[in-house]
Structure 1
């Protein structure tokens, strides 16, 4: 028996009250596909790439919650809450965990980081009060430096929102180190820079559900290439 397995091997939906087919989030094609087929998560890094509203963050958030992570971010055991906004999907997921894998994890969610910083400050965890005194990007980098340091399951929701181009490259380096140390990563992103990480699995999320994709075939990459090649072709439609 293989005891060297990733923290999460497979995700499945358990039907029940509160998760009806005709109601959100089951009306999202990616969530409906998850309910039909489940999702196998490989070792290393998996990127969920898609437009706003495609369901990539809904999937990532629910899987993080099913793993036992706070929907508003933080490591295993974090309990801070502000305004609940997550879908009920996390309560209906069953995770097949890897035998012998660690249980530690961290959910990095861009839109709720301010609340996480306040929680850490109020509980005196590691002197994180300085995070509120940093820029948005600097505080993100500090979290990456101090929290992404153990084998476990790392779930990230659009981390590039706070990062410059060079800092995004630094995030790739951090994720590479996490994987080298035995960690597993699931990341929802709009960033073609992140999605280009060598060796990563890329799932394109959209009206079709989710499907494996090569980086160069992603709609995201094709749009960015076309825009950078001739931005006025796009801007004249926006400005007119």
Structure 2
């Protein structure tokens, strides 16, 4: 086989792999272990041994401070997306607040895979809408600020989440009602069906129940794959909904 034919065959095999990014590995610029965010167990685990990303949807679940958003942000920036959300075509930001983790990792991409990507970050979407309007000469996106927070999120899902690529989502349920979260599950499922790859940080047991998704639980243990029914998140929500005062009596005055 010629070198050119071998290269083409490799690209086809990569595209058929079903993954845009195969693996996250430590780069040469990685820091000493005592430097934040390398002190976070899940981040330290990724830097030490890498992280294999599967096809379809991967959900990152864990307590605040466990490293979910830090990892998603770093993946987005290492992929070439802006720290405050959006696509590679609109990376103008405001005040830099991101961690240096994106400089410490390298994404091993599949040859021939789509290069489209989108980063949805709940806390900065308002600013992204403003920048989008400023750069959109057609006016097609001029109505996002006139919608409610949840409605604008759903509009972004409807118009931007439609093609194969890498989608990074950081706690998208923050603006969404129960029914809207169900709609988001449908969008994520459809993305997996068309060959997209999704990594989503979430506190939502509803999103975490997406059939076929890979669930990674982050915590003091680092990062490990867990079944939905075994998640601490699910256990606590079930117990709370069954008997709210079991939890609330510890925080409410008598």
**In the TM superposition, what whole-angstrom CA distance separates every residue of 1:196-237 from its partner, at most 9, and x where no partner exists?**
000000000001111000000000000000000000111110
Quick one: which of 90, 99, 102 aligns to 1:90? 102
**In the TM superposition, what whole-angstrom CA distance separates every residue of 1:93-114 from its partner, at most 9, and x where no partner exists?**
1111012210000000000001
1:149 aligns with 2:166: no
Q: How does 1:91-170 map to 2 (within 5 A)?
A: 91-124=103-136, 127-170=140-183
SS at match of 1:129: coil
Q: Give, in whole Å, the separation in 1 of the partners of 2:176 and 2:156.
A: 12
Alignment-derived partner of residue 178 in structure 1: 191
- TM-score (norm. length: structure 1): 0.97
**In the TM superposition, what whole-angstrom CA distance separates every residue of 1:71-100 from its partner, at most 9, and x where no partner exists?**
110012222211111100001211110122
Q: Provide runs of 4+ in structure 1 moved above 6 Å.
A: none
Deviation (angstroms), 1:15: 4.0
Q: Give, in whole Å, the separation in 1 of the partners of 2:176 and 2:23.
A: 30
Q: How does 1:35-50 map to 2 (within 5 A)?
A: 35-50=47-62
Any stretches of 5+ residues in structure 2 without a counterpart? 1-9
Q: Give, in whole Å, the separation in 1 of the partners of 2:197 and 2:54.
A: 8
1:24 aligns with 2:27: no
Any stretches of 5+ residues in structure 1 without a counterpart? none
Q: Give, in whole Å, the separation in 2 of the partners of 1:148 and 1:76.
A: 14
Q: Give, in whole Å, the separation in 2 of the partners of 1:229 and 1:66.
A: 42
Quick one: which of 34, 37, 50 aligns to 2:46? 34
**In the TM superposition, what whole-angstrom CA distance separates every residue of 1:177-210 from its partner, at most 9, and x where no partner exists?**
1111110000000000000000000000001111
| Backbone CA RMSD of aligned residues | 1.1
Question: Whose radius of gyration is greater, 1 or 2?
Answer: 2
Contact 2:78 2:107 survives alignment (8 Å): yes
1:196 aligns with 2:195: no
- TM-score (norm. length: structure 2): 0.92
SS at match of 2:143: helix
Deviation (angstroms), 1:150: 1.0
Q: Give, in whole Å, the separation in 1 of the partners of 2:186 and 2:76.
A: 22
1:218 aligns with 2:246: no
1:74 aligns with 2:86: yes
Aligned residue pairs, count: 239
Q: Give, in whole Å, the separation in 2 of the partners of 1:62 and 1:173.
A: 26
